Structure formats: structure tokens, C-alpha cells
Homo-oligomer: A and B are copies of this chain.
């Protein structure tokens, strides 16, 4: 919502001098209390100010940006995740590249014999191996993957914005979405920068 100039001034005054009464705000602005009444109702009902009887107005710290913030934090991983593509620890780097092209994904999750998360394999890991001197058919993925417990992951009820932050902080393109299972993690989904980009588009385009 767009505030007018006087409403912005009122917020400034309350921020600096809270608690402050309506009368005192009116004095500052050289207008009557009656003139201010609609502005103060708007600011209170929209959450910018809080009015406490017999005390005065307080600044809540709420701005249109924090309201935007709340909308964004409603988006959770469960609504935006993709299907995970997994590969066995025993598979070769060559098989992994083929799987990546067939499934058209940028990362694979490596699972152990119990079906639990063992590692993550990125296009970058495979490209590094491919330009090395070894035969891709002879290199098992377990040698070149990022290995547990050094793997960032998320849960289905995490917010999309927290996962976005995790991808940036850890400098990875994707994280597995996991459920705890026994001593390890079962992989139930995949959150990538593509999923974040789709979430961003959905925010900007929805009617």
C-alpha cells in the first residue's frame, strides 16, 4: 500500500518519540487531532503503529517490506521441490554422466546399499573427472562425490527462502530434501536453483 507524505511523517515522529499521544503528534504537524484521525486509523489498522489506550502510539517496526517478507515466507519446499534422481555408490562416473543427460539434471544423489543418502554428485564434479587422465568407466562415483556428513540438505516444511539462502551460502546448485530414517536420511526430493527461480516467477506473476 502507498502511504501519503503525512502518513510517512507520522511514522517518523512515532518512531523517534514513542509512546506519543495523538494530540502530541497533531501538535508536531500543526494540525488538529480530528484531521489526523483517518491517518492514524489507517496506520494502526495496517499494522505500522500500535495504539495503547491511555499511553499512546508505538511503532511496530512493521513496514510494507516486512509484510512482503511474510508473504514470501509462506512458500515451502514441499510446494516447489522436484523428483530426486539417485544413483548407487558403486556406479561409475561414466554411468553418472549418462544418467545426468538422460534425466536432464545438474546433480545426482548417491545412495548406499540401505538406500540412504551417501553423497551428492554435481556436473562440476563430473567435468573435473572427465578432463582428468583417468578412465571414467573405472572411477566409482563414491570417489568423486561430496560425502556425508558434509552435505547441505533441507526438509519438506522448510521455507523456500531459507533453502535459497542455504544454496548461496554453501555455493551449491542443489540440495536433497530428506526425511530422517534410522541413523541416516532418505532422499524424498530435490531443491535446485531452478526450483527457486520458478518460485520467484510464481511470486511475480500470480494474479
Q: Is the interface of A mostly helix, strand, loop or mixed?
A: helix
Our pick among B41, B127, B198, B204 for the contact of A73 (Cβ within 8 Å) is B204
The residue on B at minimum CB distance from A63 is B207
Contact partner of A41 (CB less than 8 A), chosen from B38, B165, B167, is: B38
**Inter-chain contact A1/B45, CB cutoff 8 Å:** yes
The reply to whether the CB of A197 lies closer than 8 angstroms to some CB of chain B is yes
Q: How far is B48's CA from A2's CA once the two chains are assembled, in angstroms?
A: 11
**Cβ–Cβ < 8 Å partners of A173 in chain B:** 106, 193
Number of copies: 2
Chain A, residues 76-112, CB within 8 Å of chain B (1/0): the string is 0000000000000000001001001100001000000
Q: Return the CB mask of A98-131 against B: 1 if under 8 Å, else 0.
A: 0011000010000000000000000110111011
A46 touches B1 (CB 8 A): yes
Task: Say which size band chain A's interface belongs to.
Answer: 35 or more
User: Are A168 and B201 in touch, CB under 8 angstroms?
Assistant: yes
Which residues of B are found within 8 Å of A205, using beta-carbon distances?
Answer: 69, 161, 165
Bound CA span A168–B195, Å = 9
- Asked whether A67 is an interface residue with its Cβ less than 8 Å from the other chain, the reply is yes
A181 CB contacts on chain B under 8 angstroms: none
Q: How far is the CA of A203 from the CA of B1 in the complex (A)?
A: 17
Task: Tell me if A194 counts as interface (CB < 8 A to partner B).
Answer: yes
Q: Is A72 an interface residue (CB 8 A)?
A: yes
Known: A1-B47, A42-B45, A69-B205. 8 other contacts (CB 8 A): A41-B42, A72-B203, A97-B127, A127-B127, A164-B197, A164-B200, A164-B201, A203-B203
